[in-house]
Amino acid sequence: MSAEIRSKVIGLYKHLQYLGREYPGPNGPQKFRQQIRDAFLKHKDETDPKKIMALVAHGRYVAKEVEALYSLKKYRALKQRYYD
Partner 1 sequence: MSRVLVGVKRVVDYAVKVRVKPDKTGVVTEGVKHSMNPFDEIAVEEAIKLKEKKIASEIIAVSVGPTQSQEVIRTALAMGADRGVHVEVSGKDYDLLQPIHVSKILAKLALDEKADLIIVGKQAIDDDSNQTAQMTAAVLDWPQGTFCNKVEKTDAGLNITREIDGGLETIKTKIPAVLSADLRLNTPRYATLPNIMKAKKKPLKKVTPKDLGVDTTPRIEVVSVEEPPVRQAGALVPDVDALVGKLKEGGHI
Contact flag: residue 84 with partner 1 (CB under 8 A): no
Q: Which of residues 25-64 bind partner 1 (CB under 8 A)?
A: none
In terms of Cα–Cα distance, which of 37, 40, 38, 36 is closest to 9? Answer: 40
Q: Using CB under 8 A, pick the residue from 5, 53, 57, 78 that binds partner 1.
A: 78
Amino acid identity, position 75? Y
Give the nearer residue to partner 1 in terms of CB position, either 11 or 49.
11
CB atoms inside a 10 Å sphere around CB 29: 15
Contact flag: residue 81 with partner 1 (CB under 8 A): yes
